[in-house]
Structure 1
Amino acid sequence: MIRVDGRTLRCADVVTAARTGGPLDIDVSIAALRAAEHAWKLADELSTRRVVYGRTTGVGANKDDTVAHSTDHGLRLLRSHAGGSGDPMPNGQVRAMMLIRLNQLLTGRSGISPELIGALADAVRTGALPLVHRLGAIGTGDLAPLAETALALTGERPWLTGHVPPVPVQAGDALAFMSSNAATLAEATLAAMRLDTLTRASHAIAALTYVALDGNPEAYATPVHEARPHAGQVACAAEMRRLLGMHQTPKPGRRIQDPFGLRAFPQVQGPALDAIHYLRDVLAVEINASTENPMISTAHGDAYHHAHFHTAYVSTALDQARATVHQVAELSVARLGDLVEPEFTGLRPFLAAGPAGSSGVMILEYVAHDALTELRQAALPATLGTAVVSRGIEDHASFSTQAARAATAACSAYQQVLACELVAAVRALRMREADLVELPVRDAFETASAVLEESVEDRPLTGDIAAAVGVLDKLARI
């Protein structure tokens, strides 16, 4: 059961919601619902005696236009902003978006009607999914996706799966519902958690390659990393020591200096671990945050106009995570190059078997570099541009939406890179008949071996790569 109270939603809960293809077991806080109702009553009262943006005014450049605090105004806002375009948003992201938005509304500062909150909770609980389009946000509020969702709850837009009884839009509900980046946060959270899994799996894969190449253990020694104790670097080195059974002084490797793919792994993996940790911390704040503009404060009996819709924290954290993961992927491709080199393995070029001129795993380098190039494009910063919209009133954008999409693309490319290294490392270990009996990384070898074909004759490796991708989650847990 997922607790939804506006305070304690976890990134892991968002992943659970995305992966659940039907009803979701949620426990909605009664106290939070009561707090939300108090804010709704206060917002309605405030609108009778002071200017409240989006309730008694238009929005954007229409902020100075006085309007009646009415249902008609709210419906016009929703209809005009429900102009999303492009492909439908993936179902998992829609589920995650709805859970996040429900949780945010339960912080009790939106001033939204209890009926609309209840309808959203029913949709999340029953697994009903509205038709939401992918395009329509630039990191300053997911206006189009959330307007489409709200209109589905009112009965004006279609449902892809299931439905809930339509509810009326109350005065002030429209902007209160749209004032969020829930769709962007959903994609960012799913990507961040996936990157976390892939980086954890990469420890096991790098350890397998280390064994296949007879790596030098000095690169992971505790005294080395105590001398420059960055948290991620220290954690990576410790994990490599654990996987490789380096409890005491290990025997020397074959080389005094390994290639960077092995030797510099903690120094490159460390920044990625730190960046992903920071990204998760940012997202943990955001999915439990009240971002509605204006914010209705029952504690102070007033409305506050602000800029919580701006998501620079999210976009910059995403940019940093993608950039650091790209560097880690470069090392994976470098280790793959070492695995096909006889000087490092003592085996035939490309781990080939059979007649002279056999290609072995040669194609893996091409696949890995292709994926790495896609990852490089996805790693380009999304925050270097901006946008000026609404007649110049909204003159900056974070582009966190685009940064989240790039993170999704980075996940897809990075797992292909890791899969290629894993296929080659397992083949090298099989061909060398390496002794892994006393090493914890043996579990990773056996997990991968169970799904990878043993044949070393020249053949298509498409299935091997797909199977390697399929075990990455298991490797992350070893």
Structure 2
Amino acid sequence: MVTLTGETLTLMELKRILYDKEHVKASLGSMQKAAASRKAVEQIVQKGEVVYGITTGFGKFSDVLINKDDVEALQLHLIHSHACGVGEPFPEIVSRAMIVLRANALLKGFSGVRPLLIENLLKLANAGIHPVIPQQGSLGASGDLAPLSHLALVLIGEGEVFYKGERMPSLQALTKEGIFPVTLTAKEGLALINGTQAMTAMGAVAYLEAEKIAYQAEIIASITLEGLRGIIDAFDEDVHLARGYKEQVEVARRVREYVKGSKLMTKQGELRVQDAYSLRCIPQVHGASWQALNYVKEKLEIEMNAATDNPLIFENGKKVISGGNFHGQPIALAMDFLKIAVAELANISERRIERLVNPQLNDLPPFLSAEPGLQSGAMIMQYCAASLVSENKTLAHPASVDSIPSSANQEDHVSMGTIGARHAYQIIRNVRLVLAIEAICAMQAAEIRGKENMASLTKKMLEEGRKIVAFIKEDRVFSKDIEAMNKWLKENEVMITDQTHPTL
């Protein structure tokens, strides 16, 4: 059970909620803060004070005063009008993350919603009821209005959900779990949708997958090193300490652990003086990507525990301020950074694939073919990898450099952070496919060299990999091999967990 406080949620806790389906609850203190904040909203309505989103319209309509008898209708109209997302729905795991992150933000006690609303969000998560939320339609400022409106629909018994493997009307799933729809009252609709939880949820899922493939890229690259009889000297700790980036030092250390005891690795001058950059510079390139990942992780964990709606209620209602915490710029920039960093893992991987298959660059059978000429071997697998990295270069164009004014120029600068997060996830999917291709080619090359000469850790990886993809004895439909390896990488951890030994 993960306890939400509005202040302390980590990516590792979120990972347990998302992947292990661990249940969530709210801390008593955070619910008390939410209740106090709600009382302040009720007093504002009773007194007829002019406060944005509580007794006024929204966006450009902020100067339109709303009668206190219409505050419930105002919130319902808000959700209905803003639920205009389009496109394919977010993956269920992202929808689940949105529920949890929205609840966590409301628990900070600055949003003025009833505790009942938070309780129902947590019930959705614990029951595995995931709103169907279209991916497209958010500008990433004023919050993720369209996506979060589709989430809010479920709380009022409207919209659709994924539940136990089926897509169905939300009311049907709520009834099965004994969850009663709510009627939104003053500020609650606005509090539900005025936030960055779509981009942050998508970003968090993207980060968790990116972290995994960054580790996987290192052991796959290590097998490539063995298949190409790489020079171990370039991974000497002194080289990397001399530069001073801890992530670079750590990548070099992990590679040394992976190839420890290998009879396939060489010393400088033994076969050649130095390797190509795609081999020699693995610590420098992968290490730089780790630097970016660490930055992204820091920003995500701040945003996961942030109050991002508007207005915010302080001092039990004595201070209610309309600000701009809904603006997604911090996550937009982080997602663009993530895109570039992860795309580079595929860029260098594809170059290693080329070195594995190109007979002009190695002494292996051309294209790792069993019968070069009669059989093409891995020739077109490299084509596929090249296509994927090219697509990534387009997707890696920063979304955050764009802005389109909205709401009659009241909202005249937006982040496009949700687009950045979605593109980051697409890139990560492509990167995993490239790594799957490298893994297939690297295993083939290492086995041609003789798996008995491999390091114990890389050999273990190869043996596990061979349960997924067989040795290439003749040409076959390699698309099936790539998808099988991709699925294996997605579903399994391949990383060093205790600084010494990997979990395969």
Show the 5 A alignment for 1:120-269: 120-140=121-141, 141-161=143-163, 162-163=173-174, 164-245=179-260, 251-252=267-268, 254-269=271-286
Decide whether the 8 Å contact of 1:57 with 1:65 is kept in 2: yes
Q: Which residue of 2 aligns with 1:52?
A: 51
CA separation in 1, counterparts of 2:452 and 2:290? Answer: 30
Q: CA deviation at 1:294?
A: 0.8
Q: Against the structure 1 CA distance between its residues 131 and 321, is the aligned structure 2 distance closer, same or farther, given a 3 Å change threshold?
A: closer
TM-score scaled by length of structure 2: 0.89
Q: Which residue of 2 aligns with 1:9?
A: 9
Q: Which residue of 2 aligns with 1:333?
A: 350
Q: CA deviation at 1:467?
A: 2.4
Compare 187-196 and 40-49 and name the one that shifted more.
40-49
Decide whether the 8 Å contact of 2:41 with 2:317 is kept in 1: no
Q: CA deviation at 1:24?
A: 5.1
Decide whether the 8 Å contact of 2:261 with 2:454 is kept in 1: no
Q: Against the structure 1 CA distance between its residues 361 and 308, is the aligned structure 2 distance closer, same or farther, given a 3 Å change threshold?
A: same
Q: Deviations over 1:53-79 (max 9, x none)?
A: 101111111111111242122222222
Q: CA RMSD in A?
A: 2.2
Q: CA deviation at 1:6?
A: 1.2
Q: CA deviation at 1:450?
A: 2.5
Q: CA deviation at 1:438?
A: 4.5
Aligned with 1:417: secondary structure? helix
CA separation in 1, counterparts of 2:449 and 2:312? Answer: 65
Q: CA deviation at 1:246?
A: 7.7
CA separation in 2, counterparts of 1:347 and 1:157? Answer: 57
Decide whether the 8 Å contact of 1:101 with 1:182 is kept in 2: yes
Compare 124-133 and 107-116 and name the one that shifted more.
124-133
Decide whether the 8 Å contact of 1:339 with 1:425 is kept in 2: yes
Counterpart AA for 1:73: L
Compare 233-242 and 388-397 and name the one that shifted more.
233-242
CA separation in 1, counterparts of 2:320 and 2:254? Answer: 50
Decide whether the 8 Å contact of 1:447 with 1:471 is kept in 2: no
Q: Deviations over 1:417-457 (max 9, x none)?
A: 11111101101111111444554332222221232212421
Counterpart AA for 1:399: M
Q: Against the structure 1 CA distance between its residues 158 and 468, is the aligned structure 2 distance closer, same or farther, given a 3 Å change threshold?
A: closer
Matched residues, percent identical? 31
Match of 1:446 among 463, 471, 477: 463
Compare 354-363 and 302-311 and name the one that shifted more.
354-363
Q: Which residue of 2 aligns with 1:474?
A: 493
Q: Against the structure 1 CA distance between its residues 160 and 337, is the aligned structure 2 distance closer, same or farther, given a 3 Å change threshold?
A: closer
Q: CA deviation at 1:328?
A: 2.4
CA separation in 2, counterparts of 1:389 and 1:36? Answer: 31
Q: Which residue of 1 aligns with 2:30?
A: 32
Aligned with 1:87: secondary structure? strand
CA separation in 2, counterparts of 1:213 and 1:19? Answer: 37
Counterpart AA for 1:233: Q
Aligned residue pairs, count: 475
Counterpart AA for 1:475: V
Aligned with 2:313: secondary structure? strand
Show the 5 A alignment for 1:219-368: 219-245=234-260, 251-252=267-268, 254-298=271-315, 301-342=318-359, 344-354=361-371, 356-368=373-385
Aligned with 1:74: secondary structure? helix
Q: Which residue of 1 aligns with 2:436?
A: 419
CA separation in 1, counterparts of 2:474 and 2:79? Answer: 61
Q: CA deviation at 1:191?
A: 0.6
TM-score scaled by length of structure 1: 0.94
CA separation in 2, counterparts of 1:287 and 1:346? Answer: 51
CA separation in 2, counterparts of 1:210 and 1:17? Answer: 37
Q: CA deviation at 1:174?
A: 1.4
Q: CA deviation at 1:45?
A: 1.8
Structure 1 segments unaligned to the other structure (5+ residues): none
Q: Against the structure 1 CA distance between its residues 308 and 190, is the aligned structure 2 distance closer, same or farther, given a 3 Å change threshold?
A: same
Q: CA deviation at 1:136?
A: 2.4
Decide whether the 8 Å contact of 1:220 with 1:241 is kept in 2: yes
Counterpart AA for 2:56: T
Q: Deviations over 1:177-210 (max 9, x none)?
A: 1111212211111111111111110000110011
Counterpart AA for 1:321: L
Compare 448-457 and 396-405 and name the one that shifted more.
448-457
CA separation in 1, counterparts of 2:28 and 2:240? Answer: 49
Q: Deviations over 1:309-340 (max 9, x none)?
A: 01111111111121122222111111111111
CA separation in 2, counterparts of 1:308 and 1:331? Answer: 38
CA separation in 2, counterparts of 1:397 and 1:193? Answer: 26
Decide whether the 8 Å contact of 1:244 with 1:440 is kept in 2: yes
Structure 2 segments unaligned to the other structure (5+ residues): 164-172, 497-501
Compare 254-263 and 24-33 and name the one that shifted more.
24-33
Q: Which residue of 2 aligns with 1:111?
A: 112
Aligned with 1:458: secondary structure? coil
CA separation in 1, counterparts of 2:327 and 2:477? Answer: 48
Q: Deviations over 1:3-24 (max 9, x none)?
A: 222122222343444446xx75
Aligned with 1:440: secondary structure? helix
Q: CA deviation at 1:88?
A: 2.9
